[in-house]
Structure 1
Amino acid sequence: MPATPSPSPDAGLTIITTHVNADFDAMASMLAAQKLYPGAMVVFPGSQEKNLRNFFIQSMVYMYNLAEIKDIDLQQVKRLVLVDTRKAERIGVLAGVLHNPELEIHVYDHHPIKEGDITGVVDVHRVTGATATLMTEILRQRKMPLNAEEATIICLGIYEDTGAFTFSSTTAEDLRAAAYLVSQGANINVIANLIAREISPTQIGYLNDLIQAATRYMINGIEIVVSTVTYDHYLPDFAFLVHKMVKMEELNAIFAIAQMESKVYIVARSRTESVDVGEILTALGGGGHPSAAAATIRGQTLAQVEQALFRELHRQIVGMRQARHLMSSPPITADAAVTCVEANNLLTRYNINALLVTIQKQRRSELVGYITRQVIEKIIYHHLGDVPIGDYMSTEWVTVDPDADLSEVQEKIIGHKQRILPVMRGKEILGVISRTDLLTMLVQSQTRDKDAGDAFRRSASRRTRNITHFMQERLSTRVLDILRDMGRVAESLGYGAYVVGGFVRDLFLYRPNEDIDIVIEGDGIAFAKAYALEFGTRIHTHKAFGTAVVIYPDGFKIDVATARLEYYRSPAALPDVEMSSIKLDLFRRDFTINTLAIQLIPDKFGRLLDFFSAQKDIKDKAIRVLHNLSFVEDPTRVFRALRFEQRFGFTIGKLTAALIDNAVKMDFFKRLSGRRVFTEIRLILEEDNPVPAIVRMGDFDLLKVIHPTIVINKALIALLEEVRGVIAWHDLLFVETPCMRWTVYLMGLIHANDMATCHEICRRLELATRYEALFCQERAAADHCLQQMEHRLPASAGALYHRLHPFRAELILYMMAATRVKAVKKAISKYYTELRKIEPLIGGNELIALGLTPGPLFRQILDAILDAKLNGALATREDEIQFARRWAADAAATASQNTDDKQMS
């Protein structure tokens, strides 16, 4: 081994650091570096793995000259020693010292060197199984003594990073280094206890999730396993479980993707030279070895990450990439704080289609992303021109070294769909390569994989299975026959046919749902007409949307749509529609759980399509959007997210929740028409139990969409729970009186508002006049009546009847919920269950039979009979006739007396 440079004499503060989430190899290497740099401070840039916290931090902390970042003046750092990494983005806030003008950098790393990596005046690099191997050789060369504990820790790093010498990345040098450390007293028993971890029952469950979610793909003749799981908490042993799965299943290459909290993690392992997982995940913002790599991706959904991964797999699993590139210089850049309107002006001024986005650091421009004309125009299209481009720039990009060849340039521009490719030396931006630059050279070059850009579509389409037997168990014979007939008619027209959305989702949730949506790959209206002609149904068509409703003689309806891709003229606008495939049609939908489709044409009947891991999210009980602009394009999806979350007992994913917060912050709801807001609010209020969804609306500050004065507090929640109890009580009565339950809940929501505010709310929601009267004048009258009853109850049943009789059922239920006086609630209940049904048993015919002449007297007698019955004085029909006879006689006597009095006077 060649001699390594000696560290220069200490000329200032020296710190030793490694990558965030430090593993055993990183910790071991820092301990070794501490021996090479006496007096240096060991600083962690971030958290350590769970097992490290248990072992090193608690048991071996005394061996490290540790310092907290917050206690170090980074401007005073004169020497930075990096071990087990050379990437600035992996050392956290310590990357700030890289701009110190007099900084001396020393690097010790075993990872393959990539473009843009940090280089040092002392730079020790060889491709070995562990960085601790390199450090051991340096210590051995310099004859630096090691005690048993030091030798054990350093040897532990080698064991872990080589998988106890089982990884294909293991080299002879790793074995020699371990042998030397054992000779220095390394305790193999301690190492074995830490490395050979027993798998816990909880981990077995997670491992089973990985195995069950695994899907095998053949990509250019090589089998790749992709497993996608979702957890709402961070799983520290994820890489360990992936390694276990590789061993158990004897896999050659696996990419395990996990949504944890608001981030997506990828852990990859490869046992074949044809799959360099380090190169593949480097393109996704991660990195590692050819046999082991990882990536952490923020701000993207699982569907977006999978799409990027599959494109990268199809592009890279084809052999070595070697070619040269062209460069335009100087590059045109824009600061991240520049608005989208200003950036658009730059694009127009220089006649270009993309901009590199930078920020100023230490009087130097640092690349932080890029943004394309297409994205900027769409943002301006949504009237967000004043938003900084930094909010919507692409933060995942690839670059090339100035010496890169054409093939690499071609793969990066075309494969990543990057309109501009930064040409960089370290952090310095030398120029850019545009698509136009590349096209000039492509005339003389052949594209190796022209379908790479569509890789996700082709690979994802294999996520299928036939569920015909499951459908037969869950669906009625009639529904099955209808679906088969629709598939047959579609095939006769040369179309594809699918049943999609909530119907399929509820099939897997074991929930009844006959709200059937059919998507046709072809002309949906033409299909509906052909089906109606054959089966004698009626149809209603909507040409603007390419949809139709099939109506059966018994009133049963099925919605038919043309497979379409929706785009929006502005946030919250109704969609415009274009033809597209079934996958693009599903991708436009609101949440992953609603993206399942079942094929209906005869030879593929019952074939389930799951492009976006909907089954996993159903299993994990998670509500997730498919793309980050979902709520920008249609804010009503926010209400649906809350409704589905509570209806199914699911949880909104952390990224989706963050996107909801952003939509509320940007107030996209103000552009929604009142009718659209009302539709979503009404659907929530019509749920079996809308209270949790209303509370969640309060959590996201969404109630202000109805009116700013409506806020969630204990009193409002208590009232809404009372409404729920009263409606449940009403339902158990099985009365024939119809009740619009949503109106009762809405009256509860606006209970504390005055008349003027209620009118504002009704106008905001664009309610019909009859509803405005109900929520304003009629509710105010009900509140006034309730106040009177709480002050003094009506003295008799008849008085109670006449007090409450003017109010419709919804107002009666609202009053029952709103009162805090048990006696009043009991009185209203008595009215609703007993008194309101009481009517006289006799009518006009019986009064005529008594010799009475029709006229106002009839109404007076019948009202008197009703009052007497309400107060329990009359029981039978004969009692009512006798009462009427007496009442008429008394009335006649009174009239005669009045006549006599007048004559006497």
Structure 2
Amino acid sequence: MQLVLLQEGADLDALSSAYGLSLLYNAKIVLPNAYSETVRLTLNIFSDRFKNKIGHFDKNAEKIYLVDSHYVDNLNSKIYKKIEIYDHHPIDEYKKDIKYHIKNYGSATTIIVEKLKRKKVYIDNIDATILALGIYEDTGKFCYNLTTSQDLKMASYLLEKGANLKIISDILTNRLNSDKIQVFEKLLKNSYNLYLDNKTILIASAYISEYIPDISSAINLIEEFNNVDAVFILLQTKNKITIIGRSGNKEIDLSQILSIFGGGGHWSAASATIKTFSLNQLQDYLEFLLKKYLSDTKKLKDIAIPVEITTSLKHSDGIKILINQEGKYEGIVINNKFDDNLIVLNANISLWEAEKEISKYEQDIFPVLEKQKPVGIVSKKDILKALYKPILDKEKIFLAKKEKPKEKNVKDRLKHFLPEDIYKELKIIGKIAKENGYRVYLVGGIVRDFILSKKSLDIDIIVEGDIEKIIKDYVKNRKISVYFFKEFMTATLKLENGIKFDFATARKESYEYPGAYPKVEKATIFEDLYRRDFTINTLAIEITEDRFGTLIDFFDGLKDIKEKRIKVLHQTSFIEDPIRILRALRFAGRFGYKLEKNTEKLLKLAVEEKLLQKAPTGRINLELNLTFDEENVLYILNLMDEYKVLRQIFPNCFINLEREVIIAKISEAINIYKVLFDLKIEKNSNYLMALMYHLPFDVSYFVLKKYHFDKSIKHFKYIFDFIDKFKNLPEKNIEFFKFLKTIPVEILPFSAIYFNFFEKSIEILKKEKEFKNIISGEDLKNIGIKPSPIYKKILSEIFKLYLDGKISSKKDAVDYVKKYYNN
């Protein structure tokens, strides 16, 4: 690894030089804590180019470059042999072991562009623009006396490569002030792409305190807004939402689309102002309009699956639609069960309209009707696959499967990994399976944790065979609790020592026809594992007696664990179950893994298409709670932010430095309150507040209600209702103590961190805990005071004195009572 270090206060010449070295040597750029406004602006405008070029300092790097500076005194002299310096400033003293590239030019970038040209390194127009910025800034647009002919020659070379003088001029004249920069940062954080009829449309939104009149003129400065067919920017102020549209494709006529909102303009630039929608409603409606104008004309009836139509309720397997004598829909019959309460869909709506409809319901299968007469049925998966499979096919991402596994004997290691009693029980189960001609396997998290050497007692067992027969033989003459779930072919056992085993029959989901409910069938271990989400969860250890301790790896799960990556098994994995988006990022955060290249593409596509909004909200609630309970919660939330997942769940929410610090401190506070005071704190309200404290209460309420965080609604309301009290904390210790006790313990960590009273809360709670050893009712009794309501008054009075430091020991307390309450 090679690094380019920028010095504190770095300017554009330093940044451009570092960028040039990243092109030459694939070096990572290490940013300082502080840099110029034009550097910040450049990093924002070209964030896509710098995204994978920013790194962190590592003293073990094989090479370290310094640019636009030769100051090395802050570096360890032991690493001088690794250092190369590119600078245009005069040097008084050359350090031993350091390699220097010093030329008396107006810009250090000029030195590096010379090298790029000489080595014939390919640079495009964006590269040329970033490099030219350094030369133009450090030469004062070639007006400074230090400017040389070589600076002009290299600038000319960059212009030939397509350097954009308008962007250079806008950045150097700082046309984007700090207010605009902050708005564009919010927009980029809250942006996503729509892919319609081979066109890419970017939609970005932000809440802002007040509208900036000339912000539309600066849109073209942002690279992400120029690399799509059209862009729609939605800016919400207190009383209205402004839509700004820019199009580079004549097929996307902005004047036509925004005229629906009463706006105006021409095909390439238009705007509108709306007062009747919320930001989320407007975003949804805009999407609907775009899909209506630009997507293909396929209707729901084009993908509906024809099924048998009947007028009788006679016994039959499979699925049928019941009609009356007029041929109109009456209900649906599934395996002889009649249901007339299903939501039905209009056969003539578009697939995009159908997608919006199905997202409202937990129902999986929908009868499709045309003028009340049945056309067929369709499932959620049918609709999603019809919409998104063409996009996936265009990406040409195919994930292979194989039916011959890699195997490895891990018997001895398994014996040391498992507690002795569990190991013995598994041996018994394996013997019973062998005697019956069945195969049994350990699967799931315990196998993954075994590979990672992480302790786990989450025992999941898969049976190839009759699960009831194995369990009955196993529990015979033993006091073991057994719970069978025959419909799902699973069972749970609780052993005498309290340990729990979960059994399941190796199974697969089959469909008698497209759109039908899945039918659970017995299967092989391969088919069972192939249903799983990620390769790291597909490993199994056979515990059948004759193959006990054989690790089975069909899908290179071991390799993916070794290479620390999360990889899906199927091309349509995220489409079939969007919750896997959250699971992928949670596992990546927990283990410190990266998303495998194709998996990352599939996940990004699913996020861009907002498939999470089609997922059951109850399952999203479960995944978020699991995330909040993770040790690496901040890292996971950062991943959710990086992949634009966070803002799909929490509107206009992203992780910035301020929020990152708050979340980290909340995590620490939760642990401290638990260790010091044994406070059992549910984490979700604290992290939810940390994510949404910037939003109005009505917006937060909608989100919390949608995802079933009903208890958190009360906590949010408490904070908003008593915001003034939090901002004006009591100064006296006793008053602060009383205030502290009014705060629900579930949101104490967030409150203490956000309103800056964490340290004082620790001090006061410690004193409350210590007070038990200062004086008690028993002490008062020993002094000679008869038990009565006065005990409460005395203890409260002494506690107040103890908080104020006027009493510090049991002796002080007893003396005080004797002095003032002896009679």
Do the aligned residues in 1 keep the contact of 2:379 with 2:515 (CA within 8 Å)?
A: no
Aligned partner (choices 765, 770, 774) of residue 832 of structure 1: 765
Q: Are 1:794 and 2:731 an aligned pair?
A: yes
Q: How many angstroms does 1:607 deviate by? A: 1.4
Rounded Cα–Cα distance in structure 2 between residues aligned with 1:849 and 1:483:
64
CA distance in 2, matches of 1:575, 1:745: 37
* Conserved 8 A contact 1:723-1:817: yes
Q: What SS does structure 2 have at the residue aligned with 1:544?
A: helix
**Equivalents in 1 of 2:461, 2:528: separation in Å?**
12
User: What amino acid sits opposite 1:817 in the alignment?
Assistant: I
Shift of 1:618: 1.2
SS in structure 2 of the partner of residue 561 of structure 1: strand
Q: Distance in 2 between matches of 1:569 and 1:889?
A: 88
Measured in 1, the distance between the counterparts of 2:746 and 2:380 equals 46
What is the alpha-carbon distance in structure 2 between the residues aligned to residue 781 and residue 882 of structure 1? 43
Q: Secondary structure at the match of 1:625?
A: coil
* 1:807, distance to aligned residue in structure 2 (A): 2.8
| AA partner of residue 474 (structure 2) | Y
Distance 1:860 1:714, change over 3 A: same
Alpha-carbon distance between aligned partners in 2 of 1:719 and 1:571, rounded to the nearest angstrom: 49
**Distance in 2 between residues matched to 1:780 and 1:571, nearest whole Å:** 50
Q: Match for 2:629: what amino acid? A: E
C-alpha spacing 1:585/1:831, structure 2 compared with 1 (3 Å):
same
Residue 801 of structure 2 corresponds to which residue in structure 1?
A: 868
SS of the residue 1:854 aligns to: coil
Cα distance in 1 for residues equivalent to 2:305 and 2:682: 56
* Cα distance between partner residues in 1 of 2:463 and 2:639: 36
Determine the C-alpha separation between the residues in 1 that align with 2:682 and 2:512. Answer: 35
Structure 1 residues 539 and 829 mapped into 2: Cα distance closer, same or farther (>3 Å)?
Answer: same
**Structure 2: distance between partners of 1:815 and 1:456:** 50
Whether the 8 Å contact between 1:381 and 1:569 is mirrored in structure 2 is: no
Q: Which letter maps to 1:815? A: S
- The yes-or-no answer on 1:507 pairing with 2:450 is yes
2-side partners of 1:663 and 1:564: how far apart? 27
Describe the shift of the 1:879–1:665 C-alpha distance in structure 2 as closer, same or farther (beyond 3 A).
same
Q: What is the one-letter code of the residue matched to 2:716?
A: C
Alpha carbons 2:482, 2:493 under 8 Å: kept: yes
In structure 2, what is the Cα distance between the partners aligned to 1:381 and 1:806? Answer: 49
What code does the residue aligned with 2:298 have? T
Q: Kindly indicate whether the alpha-carbon contact (under 8 Å) linking 2:535 and 2:557 is maintained by their aligned counterparts in 1.
A: yes
In structure 2, what is the Cα distance between the partners aligned to 1:654 and 1:466? 31
> Can you list the C-alpha shifts for 1:587-610, whole angstroms capped at 9, x where unaligned?
000101110111111001111211
Cα distance in structure 2, aligned partners of 1:646 and 1:504: 19
User: Secondary structure at the residue paired with 2:476?
Assistant: helix
Contact 1:340 1:380 in 2 (8 A): no
Letter in 2 for 1:629: T
Contact 2:785/2:822 (<8 A) preserved: no
SS of the counterpart of 1:577? strand
Shift of the alpha carbon at 1:573? 13
In 2, distance between residues paired with 1:798 and 1:673?
47
CA contact under 8 A between 1:783 and 1:815: conserved in structure 2? Answer: no
| Superposed counterparts of 1:209-228, under 5 Å | none
- TM-score of the superposition, structure 2-length normalised? 0.50
The answer for the alignment partner of 1:322 in structure 2 is none
How many angstroms does 1:817 deviate by? 2.4
Decide whether aligned partners of structure 1 residues 533 and 833 sit closer, same or farther in structure 2, where only a CA change above 3 A counts. Answer: farther
8 Å contact from structure 1 (residues 341, 380) kept in 2: no
1:619 aligns with 2:562: yes
Offset of residue 564 of structure 1:
1.4
Residue 766 of structure 1 corresponds to which residue in structure 2? Answer: 708
Q: Is the 8 A contact 1:691 1:717 kept in 2?
A: yes
Per-residue CA distance 1:17-38 (angstroms, 9 max, x = gap): xxxxxxxxxxxxxxxxxxxxxx
Name 2:743's counterpart in structure 1. 807
Asked if residue 859 in structure 1 is aligned to residue 792 in structure 2, the reply is: yes
2:580 to 617, 623, 637: 637
State the Cα deviation string for residues 653-709 of structure 1 (Å, max 9, x = none): 121112212222333323333321111111111111211110111122212343213
Q: Deviations over 1:514-567 (max 9, x none)?
A: 212111112435534443335432133333322222222343222211111246
Whole-Å Cα distance in 2 between the matches of residues 859 and 570 of structure 1? Answer: 74
TM-superposed deviation, 1:471: 1.6
Q: Which among 461, 466, 483 is matched to residue 409 of structure 2?
A: 466
Aligned residues: 465
Between the aligned partners of 1:556 and 1:692, the Cα distance in structure 2 is 32
- Counterpart CA distance in 1 for 2:533 and 2:821 is 70
The match for 1:738 is 680
2:776 matched residue in structure 1: 842
Q: How many angstroms apart in 1 are the aligned matches of 2:742 and 2:119?
A: 81
Deviation per CA, 1:176-224, whole angstroms, max 9, x where unpaired?
xxxxxxxxxxxxxxxxxxxxxxxxxxxxxxxxxxxxxxxxxxxxxxxxx
Query: What letter matches 2:590 in structure 1?
Result: R
- Judged with a 3 Å threshold, the aligned counterparts in structure 2 of structure 1 residues 884 and 543 are, in CA distance, closer, same or farther, namely farther
Taking the aligned partners of 1:729 and 1:853, their CA distance within structure 2 comes to 37
Give, in whole Å, the separation in 2 of the partners of 1:498 and 1:615.
17
- State how 1:719-758 maps to structure 2 within 5 Å: 719-730=662-673, 733=675, 735-758=677-700
CA distance in 1, matches of 2:513, 2:727: 47
Amino acid at match of 2:690: G
Letter in 2 for 1:466: N
Instruction: Rate the CA distance shift 1:344–1:730 in 2: closer, same or farther, 3 A.
Output: closer
2:282 aligned residue = none
Please say if residues 384 and 575 of structure 2, whose CA atoms lie closer than 8 Å, have aligned partners that are also in contact.
Answer: no
Say whether the 8 Å CA contact 1:722–1:818 is kept in structure 2: no
How far residue 848 of structure 1 moved from its aligned partner, in angstroms, is 10
Aligned counterpart, 1:383 = 383
Q: Which runs of 5+ in 1 are unaligned?
A: 1-57, 62-67, 69-335, 349-375, 398-454, 891-905
Q: Contact 2:565–2:594 (CA<8 Å) still a contact in 1?
A: yes
SS in 1 for 2:493: strand
Gaps of 5+ in 2: 1-116, 125-294, 308-375
Q: Distance in 1 between matches of 2:746 and 2:783?
A: 40
Tell me if structure 2 keeps the 8 A contact 1:621–1:651.
Answer: yes
The alpha-carbon deviation at position 836 of structure 1 amounts to: 4.8
Match of 2:630 among 687, 691, 695: 687
Determine if the alignment matches structure 1 residue 339 to structure 2 residue 276. no
Cα deviation, residue 382, structure 1: 3.5
Gap change, CA 1:574 and 1:589, over 3 Å in 2:
farther
CA distance in 1, matches of 2:589, 2:696: 30
Distance 2:583 2:626 in 1: 9
In 2 relative to 1, CA 390–739 (structure 1 residues): closer, same or farther, beyond 3 Å? Answer: closer
SS in 2 for 1:612: coil
1:317-359 CA distance string (max 9 Å, x none): xxxxxxxxxxxxxxxxxxx9573746547999xxxxxxxxxxx
Q: What SS class does the counterpart of residue 739 from structure 1 fall into?
A: coil
> SS of 2:412's equivalent?
helix
The TM-score with structure 1 as length reference comes to 0.46
Look up the SS of the partner of 2:650 in the other structure.
Answer: coil
Secondary structure of 1:549's partner?
A: strand
- In structure 1, how many angstroms separate the alpha carbons of the residues matched to 2:592 and 2:515? 27
Distance in 2 of aligned mates of 1:497 and 1:527: 10
Mapped to 1, the partners of 2:777 and 2:392 lie a distance apart of 75
Which residue of 2 is the match for residue 53 of structure 1? none
* Structure 1 residues 527 and 632: CA distance shift in structure 2, 3 A: farther
With over 3 angstroms needed to count, the CA separation of the structure-2 counterparts of 1:776 and 1:564, relative to structure 1, is same
Alignment-derived partner of residue 48 in structure 2: none
Q: Would the alpha carbon gap of residues 389 and 760 (structure 1) be closer, same or farther in structure 2, given more than 3 Å must change? A: closer
Does 695-704 or 587-596 show the bigger shift?
695-704
> What is the aligned counterpart of 1:664 among 599, 607, 620?
607
**What is the alpha-carbon distance in structure 2 between the residues aligned to residue 557 and residue 468 of structure 1?**
22
> Is the alpha carbon distance of 1:713 and 1:588 closer, same or farther for their aligned partners in structure 2, counting shifts above 3 Å?
same
Mapped to 2, the partners of 1:834 and 1:575 lie a distance apart of 60
Q: Which amino acid aligns with 1:807?
A: I
Asked if the contact 1:498–1:597 (Cα under 8 Å) also holds between the matched residues in 2, the reply is yes
CA distance in 1, matches of 2:389, 2:580: 25
Q: 1:656 to 1:701 in 2, by over 3 A?
A: same
Q: Give, in whole Å, the separation in 1 of the partners of 2:594 and 2:482.
A: 38
